[in-house]
Amino acid sequence: MKYFKRYFAFILALVLICSNGGFSYAIADNSVESILFKNISQEELQNKALSENGDNKAVLFENGNTDFAIVIPELCSKTLREAVTTLQDVLEKMTGTMLPIVNESQADTAKSWFCIDAVMNTERPVEDGLYDGYRISVDDKNISICGAAEAGTRNGIYAFMEDILGCMFLTPDDTYIPKQKTIYLEKMNEIKKPAVQWRDVYAYETVQNKWAAKLRLNGIDIESENPELTIEQLQYEGWGTWCHNCYSYLSPDEYFKEHPEYFSEKNGKRVIEYKGRDAYLCLSNPEVFEIVKNSLAEKIAENPAQLYWDFSGNDNPFLAGCECSKCKAADEAAGGTGMGTLLPFLNKLAKAFPDKYISTLAYLHTLKAPENIKAESNVVIKLCSMPGDQASSYLDGGNSNSKQFKNQVEQWSQITDKIVVWDYVVNFSHLLMPFPNFAVQAKNQKFYEDNNIIGVFHQASRENGGEFACMRAYVLSRLMWEGSDMDVAECVSGYVTAYFGAAAPHIIEYMNLCASELYNSNKALGLYDGLLAQYDGYLSEDNVKRYCQIIQEAKSAVHGDAIMERRVEEIELSVIYANVLQPGINKSERQTSLDRINALCEKRNITMVCEWESLESFNQNGLKNAVSSEKRELNKPYLITGGVASGVVIAVVAVTVVYRIIRKRKKLIS
């Protein structure tokens, strides 16, 4: 009997263990970053120092009066003129007075000059690492903004408006401009340069209305006047080719029939595609190099102004490069990475084109840094933050995902001093869902500065209307320019006050609750997280209900102000989207939420809810399938526990029956 009791106790303990463990939806091994946004009043947004005179001050405006005129070059590009016109418009809205704009030959020497670019004997600044930076000088009679190149001058103009006058370029269409009839400027002679040489935020919004120029991004084409160009065609400024492009150098259509040996080998056969995706080239074949080199020479001849030229493999997660004996041997000798063949190939191209940067993707099978190979000085590695995390910084590497990318960057920085980080700052599965990833950004920027990062490509949503899309682009853009010393919380807080007006305290409350609940959950924040990944964290049913209440309070605070109401609706859309996915709400509430989502999306011309699913598909089956999947996941612990318990009951009954039979037989024998 004592053995039976022990057996029963063991089974019961097993049931309890299974029951207790069954309710955990995600395992966290990270140290999540914290952030706290603060309420800033409208008065605090005003730069009061502008109205205070002093010994080291120059007078730009006094009670709306000024002696200054804006002087521009005789040959002034359209984009520079646009920046000057914006400056003129901003100063008029601030002070009520319009500064005249004149060409250098028309400048009245009796007036004070607001010099733009290399005019009135201004010399361009020269300093290492200046790139598209600028110099601003201010004295009693002259203000000068001049860049190392015209692009730097343009950046200086927009910086003058933001950093000195206190304006904010909030969205492609909205600029915050404080009222200030008197403007006293600190006398200065300062050179400013960006923390990151090449800067881009890949988002639908950044290419609209040439907003990228005001954000001081240099990775987006702001010169084009063609309204038909897509986001893909406007991005990657400075790059002749961007990524996943090896077939553009050596085409299967042209070469495969007669030279299959130019292409990747798989299972003993030469292939140009594998599992429905383009394959690779055989980089150990010397003839392939010659063809690629000649093709690159032709591309450069057609577009000689471009500085960066990329050669990288196709996007195929199922095929780890070419598996011929030579390629495999080179990859294995380099530590089991596709860079064993790719980086030497790049080095040869770099030597052939010493006046250009030759880049490639460190991605999938080429992600790992090679052993015993160094990059040429003009080779650029575009390093993808895979797997990455948006809750734990790369600087600290607080969880396995962020630590893995931290290690990759540190290893690559021993091989090259030219890395472009391809960072992902979006939830691809749910573009509209709350994604509180601001806390890590300053530390990530510090990590970039410490590890030879010359460029950052922040990939957000290419679709219209992503969660906090404009604010995220604004903050990331300023951070890449100013560097890791920038206070992200202060930047966000100021933006919220300027953009949301009377609703700002409620938006701050919402953002702080989101951020604190993520922090308290100590969970990773992934690029493909469904609601359940954060269901016992910041996206719990109780939290989402509270978010909805806060946003309703925000709407009430700006009721009757059509502009502010529309801005609050951006946040309302995110919290209602999180609510419609909640598995526990009833059918009526889900339909009400869905109807509101559709109304807001129609109003804002939003057509996609994730990277691969349209709003139309979401309405038809996507939402139903997502909620059904969530419910199945939520019920798994109960089903597992129930199954174990049922098994235990059956086992107990069986053991009891057997025990009684044995006992009965023993009695009969005795």
Residue range 57-186 in CATH 3.40.50.300: no
Higher pLDDT residue, 19 or 371? 371
Looking up tokens 């009695």 gives: 667
Q: What is the pLDDT of residue 103?
A: 93
CA angle 465–469–472, rounded 5-degree value: 175
- pLDDT classification of 659: cutoffs 50, 70, 90: low
- Cβ atoms of 444 and 393 closer than 8 Å: yes
Nearest to 212 by CA among 124, 88, 82: 82
Distance CA 62, CA 56 (A): 16
Comparing 226-230, 418-422, 545-549, which segment has the lowest mean pLDDT? 226-230
Residue 15 has pLDDT above 90, yes or no: no
pLDDT-based confidence at 159, cuts 50/70/90? very high
Whether the per-residue pLDDT at 12 is higher than 50: the answer is no
Hey, what are 615's tokens?
Answer: 């709003």
Site of tokens 């109304």: 599
- Res 31: pLDDT: 81
Residue 148 has pLDDT above 90, yes or no: yes
Does residue 87 have a pLDDT over 60? yes
**Domain segments of the chain as ranges:** 23-40+514-622, 57-186, 239-357
373 in Cβ contact with 343 (< 8 Å)? yes
- Per DSSP, the three-state class of 469 is helix
pLDDT at residue 665, as a whole number: 54
Q: Give me the pLDDT at residue 110, please.
A: 66
In this structure, the chain runs to a length of 670
211-249 pLDDT, tens digit each: 999 999 999 999 988 888 889 899 999 999 999 999 999
* Cα gap 78→81, rounded to integer Å: 5
Q: How far apart are CA 320 and CA 302, in angstroms?
A: 32
DSSP E strand boundaries for 265-340: 265-266, 269-270, 273-274, 277-278, 308-310
Q: pLDDT tens across 553-575, in order? A: 999 999 999 999 999 999 999 99
In this prediction, residues 541-551 reach a mean pLDDT of: 97
**By mean pLDDT, which of 59-73, 107-121, 182-196, 432-446 is the weakest?**
107-121
Cβ-contact 114, 99 below 8 angstroms: yes
The answer to whether 252 touches 263, Cβ cutoff 8 Å, is: yes
Confidence of residue 639 (pLDDT cuts 50, 70, 90): very low
Largest CA distance in the chain: 129
* pTM recorded for the entire structure: 0.89
The burial of 325, by beta-carbon neighbours within 10 Å (0-12 exposed, 13-18 middle, 19 or more buried), is given as exposed
> What pLDDT is recorded for position 5?
45
CB 145 within 8 A of CB 157: yes
| % of residues, the chain, pLDDT over 70 | 90
Peptide bond into 125 cis (omega under 30): no
Q: What is the mean pLDDT of residues 400-424?
A: 95
Q: Is the pLDDT of residue 641 over 70?
A: no
Res 626: pLDDT: 83
Contact 580, 615 (CB under 8 A): no
Q: Quick check: 24 pLDDT over 80?
A: no
When the pLDDT of each residue in the chain is averaged and rounded to a whole number, the result is: 91
Tell me what the mean pLDDT of segment 456-463 comes to. Answer: 96
**pLDDT tens for each residue of 52-82:** 999 999 999 999 999 999 999 999 999 999 9
Which tens digit of pLDDT belongs to each residue from 313-354?
A: 999 999 999 999 999 999 999 999 999 999 999 999 999 999
- What is the four-CA torsion angle of 512, 35, 456, 86, rounded to 10 degrees? 60
15 versus 384: which is more confidently predicted?
384
Which pLDDT belongs to residue 228?
Answer: 85
